[in-house]
Amino acid sequence: MLSVKNVAELAGVSVGTVSRVINNHPSVKPETREKVLAAIEKLHYVPNEVARNFKMQKSMMVALLLPDIAHPFFSELTNYIEDELDTQNYKMILCNSKGKPQKEQYYYDVLSQNMVAGIIVITFNNVEHAIMKKIPVVAIDRHIAHEISCVTSDNYAGGRMAFNELIKAGVKRPAFLGYITNVYLNSAISEVHTRKDGFCDAAHAQGIQYACFEIPDDDQTLEASLEKIIISEALKLIDGIFINGDLFAARFIKQARAHQIRIPEDLKIIGYDGSRNLSWCPPYMSTIRQPIETIARTAVQLLVRSIEGETIKPDTYRLPVEYVQGDTT
Amino acid sequence: MLSVKNVAELAGVSVGTVSRVINNHPSVKPETREKVLAAIEKLHYVPNEVARNFKMQKSMMVALLLPDIAHPFFSELTNYIEDELDTQNYKMILCNSKGKPQKEQYYYDVLSQNMVAGIIVITFNNVEHAIMKKIPVVAIDRHIAHEISCVTSDNYAGGRMAFNELIKAGVKRPAFLGYITNVYLNSAISEVHTRKDGFCDAAHAQGIQYACFEIPDDDQTLEASLEKIIISEALKLIDGIFINGDLFAARFIKQARAHQIRIPEDLKIIGYDGSRNLSWCPPYMSTIRQPIETIARTAVQLLVRSIEGETIKPDTYRLPVEYVQGDTT
């Protein structure tokens, strides 16, 4: 039976392009459209309605699996991922795992029933065993397997940058504050943890002593964990903290102020992320800004090329970060 | 031909429940599962693999059409919508329209190709003509058509509440600041605009003069529009503003402070929304908090009941709001 593949071969284009022509998508160049229409005519190809719908649903849908759509970093990232997918004529299914391994597992099971053409995944759990290698996958911030590309910001450079900016701002006794996540013990698989490595390496290089605070990544116990740090003797020795995330930093500042700790006079703070909608809110965090839009578009472009048949050598794409001066340093 | 409908009838359950049993979804009660399995056995029903996949994709997918996933109100709402859909065994396709009518139109065209079982829509454009009545639709914050239910917060009460709280906080010359959107001219179709009505009616009832500022809902020109208001003679007469959204209020405050306007000493501010992730950020806005989770779950439950065959009388569900005292009043 004649298929869209025969049309694609004759026209010298990808199956995806033929599908876009059939579905009248505006993104196809006129000359490409003509080539495809000529091939369809020559072969007397009639797209079967049901098969076409079925195929289209399957092949033009991409799943985004992430831990928390309500978090400003993830929602801004999602905004750009959806926009780039839309540009490329794909629709997005959002799978919000809340970081729960069993919910992620459930999503993998559903997605593996051939529902989607590809998956973009951001997870903090160990999911190597669950990812099926049948369909293209691109990870953000995580190394899932050797065959899967990872797009991330240059977290290591970001950690170094945060350390150096704290010192430039006059900090003498710096500290790092981060989360312990499920993937913590195997830090090689989470790019996010290299922020700490960058911070510590910069400190060692300059021979400066520093402290490390690490608390569980648990929304329910966060306030209690922060309280312990804020009232600790250890914090009294500290005059600047790099906090691994702006929202995390905002929650820390809220609690620190309740204890009459002045920011930045008593304690200077640098966050991480630089997501746009938090940037409107005082105290206008000094932060390491990730290129959120570029991370999103790069991940989608890699995935789509892979879906459309290109062989892509798996790699890690570390995109540059920048320091944004705010009111907290 | 035997269909899933025959199984549903014999088992005395909905088609959706049979589908859930076939797909091994954990949400089905054991006794229901047994009834369905007994009916399947009695009828010698064998689900056709392709038909089943096709049907499942079609029937277990719900589209959420909204203007801006990066906005904290929408991302928190999406979080709960996805969670409730997941509980009910549906997957969510996210359509991010950026408020552009042509992008919404494109999504309607795609969705109307029978891709989804239902749509939850939040739009600020006039889309009555575009919504197809073939599949269930529930709107949030908007009256789209008489046949479509609308779930929203009690915006009118929220506007009254904001006015009364400003007065309680000592404000003598209050003002309202809102957006002019595409649906503005026909305020009956946007519930959001009734916040202003509530505010104005409360002012009239108390015989208090007030001012109204309204600017275009355009991210590109927002700073310039706010600047005009902040340096205006009119603002010098004002000592309290109800601003239609917390993020909007945060952006106003950022600019007002650059002009040495002190919040709350010179100007008291009450926002609207109360989304969780903005609540960590100083200055801890006084705000009218919407029941975001309840709005999300109510909309999904209405939609799913409708998808699963129940006849639901279209109605408007106005959910109660509450005042949250922050540092800006």
pLDDT tens track for B155-176: 999 999 999 999 999 999 999 9
pLDDT band at B131 (very low <50, low <70, confident <90, very high): low
- Residue B45 near residue B7, CB atoms below 8 Å: yes
Q: How far is A23 from chain B (nearest CA, A)?
A: 9
Q: Measured between alpha carbons, how far is B246 from B233 in angstroms, rounded to an integer?
A: 24
B75 vs A: CB within 8 A: yes
Q: Is the predicted pLDDT of residue A248 greater than 90, yes or no?
A: yes
For the ranges A115-129, B125-139, B262-276, the maximum mean pLDDT occurs at B262-276
Strand arrangement, sheet containing B316-319: A316-319, A149-153, A137-140, A118-121, A61-66, A91-96, B91-96, B61-66, B118-121, B137-140, B149-153, B316-319
More confident residue, A137 or B23: A137
Q: Give the pLDDT confidence score for residue B189 in this predicted structure.
A: 67
CB contact set of B233 (below 8 Å; sequence gap of 6+): none
Strand residues in B172-324 grouped as ranges (E): 174-180, 211-216, 240-243, 268-273, 286-289, 316-319, 322-324
Per-residue pLDDT of B261-270, as tens digits, reads 999 999 999 9
Read off the pLDDT of each residue in B226-251 and give the average, rounded to a whole number.
93
Q: Is the predicted pLDDT of residue A50 greater than 80, yes or no?
A: no
Among B87, B281, B285, B287, pick the best mutation site for testing chain A contact (most A Cβ within 10 A): B281
Read off the pLDDT of each residue in A46-71 and give the average, rounded to a whole number.
67
- Residue B329 near residue B161, CB atoms below 8 Å: no
pLDDT band at B225 (very low <50, low <70, confident <90, very high): very high
- Indicate yes or no: pTM above 0.80: no
Q: Give the pLDDT confidence score for residue A34 in this predicted structure.
A: 85
| Integer Rg of chain B from CA | 23
More confident residue, B145 or B7: B7
- Residue B248 near residue B217, CB atoms below 8 Å: no
Cβ-Cβ pairs closer than 8 A, A with B, add up to 127
A276 vs B contacts (CB less than 8 Å) = 70
- Residue B247 near residue A277, CB atoms below 8 Å: yes
Q: Is the predicted pLDDT of residue B128 greater than 70, yes or no?
A: no
Q: Is the predicted pLDDT of residue A55 greater than 50, yes or no?
A: no
A93 vs B: CB within 8 A: yes
Picking from B75, B93, B113, the nearest residue to A53 by CB comes out as B113
B87 vs A: CB within 8 A: no
What's the longest Cα–Cα distance across chain B? 80
As a whole-number percent, the residues of chain A with pLDDT over 70 amount to: 86
A247 vs B: CB within 8 A: yes
